[in-house]
Each structure stands twice: as structure tokens, then as C-alpha cells.
Amino acid sequence: MQSSNKKPRLSQASVRFGSRVEVDIPVRLKASGRTEHPGSVRNASISGALIATEFDLPLDARLLVVVSVAEHDREVSHELGARVIRLDAIGLGVEWCDNGGIDVIDLLERAADSRPTGTRK
């Protein structure tokens, strides 16, 4: 990631829709068949999210954001397609790609609610 004294880099097509919701949801990130890397969604909207991570990806890279949710007494993983639109000292700003009608905000809220008490933000 960039050092904190540099300006963030933005993709040419970076546009934000919807208001951001502050969260702290652990996720796993996958890109181009590479090993999964840990991250944490720090804020999210209907159009994208800020993910704290040390996973180094270039602007416009495609990735999968893997979110785990407790459903019927078991953990279920959901993969959300995304594209890197911002790089900064915290990690990656991503824009959600077509996710087949998945309500991203609902999924992230369920992920936050399924975390053990005391680990939620």
C-alpha cells in the first residue's frame, strides 16, 4: 500500500452512489487465483466499500470479497465481485460489480450481526 504521506490514487471511473455506513466486518479477498488475503470492510454503500488490508492490488483490478454469514447454525460464505477504484494508506476502495441481485448492504448487515458480541463496531 501507499505510504500515508502520499495522495490517494483514484480510478478515472470512480463514482460514489448512496451514503456510506460505518462497519467493521472481517472479509477475505481473492484476485486472479492468488491466495486469499484478510481484510476488514470499514465502510460500505450500495456502490462500494473501503476495505482495510495489506493486499496490494493495482487500480482497476477485479477481485472477490468473501463475506461469511451465520445462516441456520452454520457459516455460509458469499462472494461479492468488486473492482479496485482507490488505493490509499488504509487499503482499497472498491466498487461493487454485478452480483446477481445480491443486496450487498443487507448481506454486510447480516455479517455484522452474526459476529460474536464484543467484536462488533
- The pLDDT tens digits of the residues spanning 20-76 come to 788 999 999 999 877 899 999 999 988 899 999 999 999 999 999 999 988 888 998
Domains identified in the chain, total number: 1
Residue 34 lies in a domain: yes
| Global pTM value | 0.77
Range of the domain at 79: 17-113
- Does 67 fall in a domain? yes
Q: Residue 30's domain is classified under what CATH number?
A: 2.40.10.220
| Angle at alpha carbon of residue 40, lines to 37 and 41, rounded to 5° | 125
The closest of 40, 49, 19, 37 to 120, measured between CA atoms, is 40
State residue 90's pLDDT score: 94
Residue 73 lies in a domain: yes
**Rounded CA separation 90/17 (Å):** 21
**Does any domain span residue 5?**
no
66-114 per-position pLDDT tens digit = 999 888 889 989 999 999 999 999 999 999 997 666 778 788 888 888 7
